[in-house]
Structure 1
Amino acid sequence: MIRTLLVSAALALAAAGSVLAAEPIVGNWKTASGATAEIAPCGGSFCVTLKTGKHAGKRIGNLAGAGGNYSGEITDPENDKTYGGSGSVDGNSLKMKGCVLKVLCKSQTWTRL
Structure 2
Amino acid sequence: MKRALLALALLSVPSALPAAGEEALIGRWNTQKQGGVVEIHRCGQALCGRVVDGAPLRANPDQRDTRNPDKALRGRRVMGLRVLHGFTGGPREWKGGPLYDPETGDGAKSGTLTLVDASTLKVKGCLMAFLCRTQTWTRVR
TM bucket, shorter chain: 0.7 to 0.9
Distance 1:32 1:101 in 2: 22
5+ unaligned residues in a row in structure 1: which ranges? 1-18
Tell me the TM-score normalised to structure 1 length.
Answer: 0.75
Alpha-carbon RMSD across the aligned residues, in angstroms, is: 1.8
Secondary structure of the corresponding residue to residue 23 of structure 2: coil
Preserved CA contact (<8 Å) 2:108 2:126: no
Q: How does 1:7-86 map to 2 (within 5 A)?
A: 20=19, 23-33=23-33, 34-53=35-54, 54=57, 55-62=78-85, 63-73=87-97, 74-77=99-102, 78-79=104-105, 81-86=107-112
In 2, Cα distance between the equivalents of 1:46 and 1:81? 17
Higher strand share: 1
In the alignment, residue 59 of structure 1 is paired with which amino acid? R
Moved over 6 A (4+): none
Structure 2: how far apart are the matches of 1:20 and 1:95?
A: 18
Structure 2: gaps (5+ residues):
1-17, 58-77
CA deviations 1:64-102 (Å, max 9, x no partner) are: 112121011111223153331110012210000011111
Describe the shift of the 1:86–1:28 C-alpha distance in structure 2 as closer, same or farther (beyond 3 A).
same
Selected match of 2:115 from 68, 74, 89: 89
Helix, strand or coil at the partner of 2:24: coil
Counterpart of 1:7? Answer: none
Distance 1:28 1:100 in 2: 25
Q: Percent identity?
A: 34
- Contact 1:23–1:68 (Cα < 8 Å) also in 2: no
Which of these two proteins has the greater Rg computed from alpha carbons? 1
